[in-house]
Structure 1
């Protein structure tokens, strides 16, 4: 199965709201499988469809590399048309993104979220996540809403990021 190319910032697909998944068919199942392979090859914990150039509202994830996560949350798993219903608490922790490789920064997120969506067969699911799982859900839902983690940085950190990015562009480099 081919590994897909991960789209890098500032690709337009990363900066626009993705469209709802309307049909659960063989083509979607193939895309999900290819995204899971890409996630493992990256390696990462989560991968949203826009990160591989697919402007649909879904993501794949697998926390099995994180030993502190409960067995019930190990995957790989997929969520189609995710929506965060509830958020509570707050934590600040390091966060990275496969579309901005090598760049990590502290990001404030809710500690607990309740997520609603569809599984890969199109059946409704609700998942409550805390800690790392809640952070992953918020990060991936941001992706399908066209929001990158950079938008969650403090003003100072955002300014530093954009200065570094402009310098890289001038030097002909990319992430």
Structure 2
């Protein structure tokens, strides 16, 4: 079981690396890694388990965050209508996106960042993601709102990008023209 002890923190070189594609079909080791990422996200959202193992709650986790430079992410998040988006994916890729941008009004956080980083992170308002599930099924997900933000955050980890790289450091709370504000 992955705990906070396995999660690498900012400054670790793996967080700035471009992760490698996972060879499909995945090895048993890669299946275990991806299952472990999803297990952490689910456990971290369960107050009893999170409390018992001192897990910081998270809506997503990428393999580089546990020191493994491979293209794997796990996400579990609800959209505005309450629909749960729960996916563990190999080789996820944004294949299309809107011109329109969006941002979380509360800013973003990260399990690999132990400090508050104030500012708005502008991301695409709508994206389409392709990837392969744990079961080997190829999926194409059309996302908007909070799920779109979370998937972009996790896919950024696979490219060595941290959320605060997107913040305008001169004007951290500057809002791009027409950007959609998303409440958490």
Whether 2:89 is the aligned partner of 1:79: answer yes
Deviation at 1:86, TM superposition (A): 1.1
Q: C-alpha displacement at 1:122, in angstroms?
A: 2.4
Distance 1:101 1:157, change over 3 A: farther
Aligned: 1:68 with 2:77 = no
When normalised by structure 1's length, the TM-score is: 0.79
How high is the TM-score relative to the length of structure 2? 0.76
Matched positions, count: 154
Cα-Cα RMSD: 1.9
Gaps of 5+ in 1: 159-175
* The structure with more helix, counted as a fraction of residues: 1
Structure-to-structure mapping, 1:18-97, within 5 angstroms: 18-23=19-24, 24-39=26-41, 40=44, 41-63=55-77, 66=78, 68-71=80-83, 73-75=84-86, 77-88=87-98, 89-93=100-104, 94-97=107-110
Per-residue CA deviation, residues 17-71 of structure 1 (Å, 9 max, x unaligned), is 00000141322222122222333233100001000101100100111xx473543
Provide structure 2 residue ranges, at least 5 long, that are not aligned to the other structure. Answer: 45-54, 173-184
Alignment partner of 1:10: what SS?
Answer: coil
